[in-house]
Amino acid sequence: MIERIYSLLGIARRAGKITSGESQVEAMLKKSKGNLLILAEDAPGTHKKYTQWAEDLKIPVLIQGNKVGLGKAIGLSQRSTVLVMDEGFAKAILKVRS
């Protein structure tokens, strides 16, 4: 399951449909943008802050994988937060999860 999510994230990145890293994710959340927020399991300091923020904006939150895995999936360094901007990719990832 996690491999499929990572694969979808990689495709979404190549399509330009995600943003990652705390500062970029915060900028998009301030603009009330995004369709799915993914947080790394090994970054507990981000969970409370971003989960509450996403809930306020009615954006689903998925706590899945680790920082290294998320970063590798999108071809970047470690990432604790990834925001999927495209509704289609968000639905596909949530479908894999359920």
Distance CA 14, CA 29 (A): 21
Distance between CA atoms of residues 48 and 3, nearest Å: 25
The β-bridge partners of 19 are 83
- Predicted confidence at residue 62, as pLDDT, reads 96
Q: pTM score, two decimals?
A: 0.94
What ranges do the domains of the chain cover? 2-97
Q: How far apart are alpha carbons 20 and 35 in whole angstroms?
A: 13
Rounded CA separation 52/9 (Å): 23
> What pLDDT digit, counting tens, does each position of 50-80 carry?
999 999 999 999 999 999 999 999 999 999 9
Is residue 50 within 8 A of residue 61, CB to CB? The reply is yes
Q: What is the DSSP letter of 62?
A: E
| Residue 98 pLDDT exceeds 80 | no
CATH topology classification for 2-97: 60s Ribosomal Protein L30; Chain: A; (3.30.1330)
